[in-house]
Chain A
Amino acid sequence: MRLIFEKGAFGRRGFKIPKKDVPIDAKFPQKYKRVKEPDLPQVSELDVVRHYTNLSRMNFSVDTNFYPLGSCTMKYNPKFTEKIAALPGFTDVHPLLPQLGGGGILTQGSLEVIYKTEEFLSEITGMSGFTMQPLAGAHGELTGAMIIASFHKFNGNRRKYIIVPDSSHGTNPASAAIAGYEVIVIPTDENGCMDIDKFKEKLTQDVAGVMLTCPNTLGLFNSSIKEIADLAHSVGALMYYDGANLNAIIGKSRPGDIGFDIVHLNLHKTFSTPHGGGGPGSGPVGVNEELLKFLPIPRIAKRVDGTFALDYSYKDSIGYIAPFYGNFSVILKAYAYMVYLGKSGLIDVAEKAVLNANYCRVLLKKYFEVPYGRICMHEFVLSASKQKENGVSALDIAKYLIDNGVHPPTIYFPLSVVEAMMIEPTETESKKTLDNFVELMIEAAKLAQDSPSTLHDAPKNMPVGRLDETKAARDLNLRWHSKKE
């Protein structure tokens, strides 16, 4: 499709601006004026509406397609939360209001939403308190790593290393490195969990923290998690819980009870806020009692009279990590979701998510290699290693799924599994949808045997075929230029 910049005509406008009603004709000083005007589109409102409506139709989305993307928890995003987030009483509030003299009283509604969300999340995870400030999961990880650093500094030694398993998300080592830590990577054992002997070897007084997902990225719950936590604590290291996979265990196990000191959650995964094509997310961080004083400021406090206020009084806090109090409208949607579901509803989420994953796993294990075959949690990993012998890769299977209206699983992750396909159906998908998906995967396995070229040529039903990514990276074209330049 042509770009919005290539549509329209010289002088055309898409928006009527109010007439100047102030009796003044001040000239913006020439010295500070831009010389070249920006080459922005010159289009009508209909041009814009048609263009972006048509672009929207060139995407798979949860509302249009099954989206079993492992570790991303692409569940249905209820519409009523969008309605709530659009209430002017929430959208039109300036974030600086509560920071002004006597201003706290002006934003009681929003402060209460944040406070109550913190309470919900604390109970769900078994932590003592939360900050809603981190703007995404990785931002939460960085906040957590900084809390780890502050804790150890407070105790006299910042320490040098953070341990992560080789199956961890790339953000874990990246966040640890950005917080100033060196990263130690522990391999996966034959059961699909972090190799505990190798872990013991590397665990010294210089280790500041251990970052784990539980269940891990292979969809397996590590029964030795308490032992790992005890070992880490015995050398004074903190346990960090990456909440990417919380959907599997909500109401079934709480990170705070099993030895984790810090957790981050992804509201855009477990708590059903839309992924927005890659964001905005929200990555709140919870901590145990001992670490509360290190949380970012301002915290939200409830006064004795029942009103809410910003609290800056934490002198050991890591400081400011976001401009304000987090991605408020995302927090609001997650809060509405939790209130709607309540206790039983949330437990049901975990149960059906795990049921759906195991159902698919069992139906597919005859056709694909399953590196770790035991009962999984909310997701599982298949390998296309059998298909690879016929020259068919996980990528080929992914493209075949696209042709048939299903978004592919996460492929080539975790790196420890060859030709990995990580499948997370989520709880909101029906048996019928899963059956169709399984059928499609079996069809792909058959084609890998009988007609590999069919898979190599996929996708055929999309606006474009497989794109040349090498060309994209070699001959960089990252923006449009007008012809006259």
Chain B
Amino acid sequence: MSFIPHTDIEVKQMLKTIGVSSIDDLFVDIKEDLKPKSFNLPEGKSEFEVIENLKKLSSKNATHLINFLGAGFYDHYIPAAVDALSSRSEFYTAYTPYQPECSQGWLQAIYEYQTAISELTGLDVSNASLYDGGTALYEACMMAIRITGRNKIVMDSGVNMTYRTILYTYTSNLNIEFVETSVVHGQSSREEIYKYLDDKTAAVILQNPNFFGAVDDHSDVVKKAHSFGALVIESVYPIALGILKTPGEIGCDIATGEGQSLGLPLSFGGPYLGFMATKKEYVRKMPGRIVGQTQDKDGRIGYVLTLQAREQHIRREKATSNICSNEALCALRAVIYLSLLGKDGLRDVAQLNYQKAEFTKNVFDDIPGVEVKRSSPTFNEFTVLLPRNADQVVSKMAAKGYALGFPLGRFYPGMDNYILVAVTEKRTKEEIVKFKESLEAVLCD
């Protein structure tokens, strides 16, 4: 039984209708030399056995760790209603809503998601989702190149390395010139960015808060970039936008980001959610699906996929992107999450993240030899200089039941003693204090 309903009698009847005598006759086009040389797989198992087997495997993962690890991917609380609603199989067993009349629920939900992302980023329009924050940044970069007709990108070193490496892989066969500012822990170095800006620059790519946790107001960078005819792309952390100045407010042209924080589990790297918003005038250059509101002939309001002439199924090799499947179900989770938290809740969660991180900084100040970097304000993640190799400390802290943070030496040569620590609303005062005591003990060893 492979979820196949056919009885033997039915199979016989169907073969007779088709006019063949056996199933094999249906595969006549697969001649002898096209048949498998091997198909050496185990035989199937029962549902119970498969579940037991995978429960065992899941227990080989360490999920008991108290999490202070972020680096772009955060351990936020997910309200139960998010799981309950996104588990409605009328949502999750549907396909892309190409037939609008039988997909109004999905289409309206995406329209609501687009509204929520526009509100969050302070920009005019959003698409219906992209794969993740990294590929979203790549898409934004290509979009800026299309809009400006230029091919130079100025990349701030505060942009998540995970995103940057994706971008570089994707563009390695294209004629694009990347220049990177040199590493600073704090806010973006204006001096460095301005040094590279010229009239060949398509875009400046920034991140806020940046990878080191620093928050910034990039208004001045935007002004300067625009004076050269370059666009500005800001990669943002959606929870921070509960209180942080928005890409729209600073005049930024395209905002992208990782939507994992909006109600998606960490799930070992996916599925996540890439979001993108932009100014009205660039909407036709935007990749991905877009839902629009319209009417039927009786004037009833309804929703459809619109501006499809940008997309691969119509424009093929001239499309704005090759994206087809996106992360619709993750986008649904995000809009449900944002609806539950609402206007006040999102601000309060953001404030709580900020307060807990600030408290943790103060607690860390009491550990001898540990230096919290305070060159700029941060949101819920910050950089700490340890008295010894961070990777080793991380390993020892794991043995004590903590995910200490992200050792910056992994991405940045010369920063072997630095650790990036994230504190979300889930961390309690008690956990933070015990965490500090464990760290102190590990460092005293």
What chain B residues lie within 8 Å of A49 (beta carbons)? 81, 84-85
Q: Does A72 contact B (CB under 8 A)?
A: yes
B289-337 contacts to A, CB under 8 A, are: 289-298, 300-304, 306-307, 309, 311-319, 321-330, 332, 335-336
If the complex has contacts A92-B266, A343-B41, A480-B112, are A28 and B29 also in contact, measured as CB distance less than 8 A?
Answer: no
B44 within 8 A of A: yes
Contact assessment for A32 and B102 in the assembled complex, using a CB-CB cutoff below 8 Å: no
> In the complex, which residues of chain B have a beta carbon less than 8 angstroms from the beta carbon of A266?
325
CB distance from B53 to the nearest CB of A (A): 7
* Distance, CA A354 to CA B26, complexed state (A): 7
Q: Which residues of B contact A196 (CB under 8 A)?
A: none
Q: Is B13 an interface residue (CB 8 A)?
A: yes
Inter-chain CA distance A351–B25, complex, in Å, is: 11
A200 at the interface (CB under 8 A from B): no
CA of A324 to CA of B128, assembled, Å: 22
Binary interface encoding of chain A residues 188-210 relative to chain B, with 1 for a CB under 8 A from any of its CBs, else 0: 00000000000000000000000
The answer to whether A107 touches B268, judged by C-beta atoms less than 8 angstroms apart, is: yes
Cβ 8 A contact of A40, one of B88, B135, B346: B346
Q: Assess the B319–A280 pair: CB atoms within 8 A.
A: no
Q: Which of B219-271 contact A (CB under 8 A)?
A: 241-246, 249, 258, 265-271
Known: A176-B317, A177-B318. A97 touches B30 (CB 8 A): no
Among A6-14, A383-391, A443-451, the stretch in contact with B: A6-14
State A404–B314 Cα separation when bound (angstroms).
Answer: 28
Asked if B180 CB lies within 8 Å of chain A CBs, one says no
B282 within 8 A of A: no
Selecting from B149-157, B170-178, B199-207, the interface stretch reads: B170-178
- Interface segment, one of B190-198, B403-411, B435-443: B403-411
B245's partner among A32, A110, A252, A413 (CB-CB below 8 A) is A32
The yes or no answer to A154 lying at the interface (CB within 8 A) is: no
**Structural contact, A110 and B169, CB atoms closer than 8 A:** no
Most buried by B among A108, A328, A362: A328
Within 8 A of A (CB), among B59-102: 59-63, 65, 67, 69, 71-73, 75, 79, 81, 83-85, 87-97, 99-102
A100 to B79, CA, bound (A): 29
Counting contact residues on chain B (CB < 8 A from A), the size range is: 35 or more
A-B contact count (CB 8 A): 682
Q: Are A88 and B63 in contact (CB under 8 A)?
A: yes
Selected contact of B294 from candidates A53, A141, A178, A472, CB within 8 Å? A472
* Chain B residue, CB-CB nearest to A74: B95
Instruction: Report B-chain residues with C-beta under 8 Å of the C-beta of A339.
Output: 42, 44-45, 50, 53
C-alpha spacing A32/B219, complex, angstroms: 11
Can you list 18 A-B contacts with CB-CB less than 8 angstroms, sorted by A residue number?
A37-B347, A41-B338, A80-B47, A89-B57, A92-B63, A173-B317, A174-B316, A257-B35, A268-B325, A276-B92, A320-B169, A339-B50, A352-B4, A467-B100, A467-B294, A467-B303, A473-B309, A480-B112
Q: Is B17 an interface residue (CB 8 A)?
A: yes
Tell me the A298-349 residues at the B interface (CB within 8 Å): 318-330, 332, 336, 338-349
Whether B89 contacts A63 by the Cβ 8 Å rule is: yes
CA distance A477 to B394 in the complex (A): 50
Interface size in chain A (residues, C-beta < 8 A): 210
Question: Are A53 and B88 CB-contacts (below 8 A) given A174-B322, A278-B325?
Answer: yes
Indicate whether A94 sits within 8 Å of B348 (C-beta atoms), given known contacts A26-B354, A78-B3, A465-B298: no
- Are A34 and B269 CB-contacts (below 8 A) given A174-B322, A343-B44? no
Per-residue contact bits, chain A 1-32, to B (CB 8 Å; 1 contact, 0 not): 10111001001111101101111111011011
Q: Provided the pairs A87-B58, A101-B395, A253-B36 are in contact, do residues A344 and B44 lie with their beta carbons within 8 angstroms?
A: yes
Q: Which of B33, B42, B73, B101 is most buried by chain A, counting CB atoms within 10 A of its CB?
A: B101
Q: Among A95, A347, A427, which residue has the most Cβ atoms of chain B within 10 A?
A: A95
CB-contact partner of A48 in B128, B293, B336, under 8 A: B336
Q: Are B342 and A97 in touch, CB under 8 angstroms? A: no
Cβ of A465 and Cβ of B135 under 8 Å apart?
no
Chain B proximity of A472: nearest CB distance (Å) = 4
Interface residues in A434-476 (C-beta closer than 8 Å to B) = 459, 462-469, 471-473, 475-476
Closest Cβ neighbor of B298 among chain A residues: A465
CB atoms of B245 and A137 under 8 A apart: no
Q: For the complex, what is the distance from the CA of A478 to the CA of B6, rounded to whole Å? A: 45
User: A156-197: contact bitstring with B at CB < 8 Å (1 yes, 0 no)?
Assistant: 001000000000011101111111101100000000000000
In the complex, the answer to whether A60 meets B50 with C-beta atoms within 8 Å is no
CB-defined contacts of B83 to chain A, threshold 8 Å? 86
Residue in B15, B116, B269 whose beta carbon sits within 8 Å of that of A324 in the complex = B269
Q: Measured between alpha carbons, how far is A191 from B410 in the docked complex, in Å?
A: 56
Our pick among B59, B90, B163 for the contact of A61 (Cβ within 8 Å) is: B90
Contacts of A344 in B (CB 8 A): 43-44
Is the pair B50, A178 in contact by a Cβ cutoff of 8 Å?
no
CB < 8 Å: which of B43, B67, B303, B343 contacts A38? B343
The reply on B412 being an interface residue by CB < 8 A is no
| Cβ-based interface call for A90 (8 A) | yes
- Min CB distance B26 to A, Å, is 5
Q: Which residues of A contact B118 (CB under 8 A)?
A: 479
**CB-defined contacts of B89 to chain A, threshold 8 Å:** 61-64, 77, 274
Task: Give, as a whole number of angstroms, the nearest-CB distance from A415 to chain B.
Answer: 9
Q: Are B59 and A342 in contact (CB under 8 A)?
A: no
A464 touches B342 (CB 8 A): no
Please provide the chain B residues from 116 to 150 with a CB less than 8 Å away from any CB of chain A in the complex.
116, 118-120, 122, 124-126, 128-129, 131-135, 142
**Contact residues of B between 335 and 361, Cβ < 8 Å to A:** 335-336, 338-349, 351-352, 354-356, 358-359
In the complex, the answer to whether A413 meets B328 with C-beta atoms within 8 Å is no
Decide if B429 is an interface residue (CB 8 Å cutoff): yes
Residue ID in chain B nearest A54 by CB atoms:
B105
Q: Which of B2-49 contact A (CB under 8 A)?
A: 2-6, 10-11, 13-15, 17-20, 23, 25-31, 33-47
Q: Confirm or deny: B362 has a beta carbon within 8 angstroms of a beta carbon on chain A.
A: yes
Are A343 and B42 interface neighbours, CB within 8 A? yes
Q: Closest Cβ of chain B: how far from A407's Cβ, in Å?
A: 6
In the complex, what's the smallest C-beta–C-beta distance from A135 to chain B, in angstroms?
4
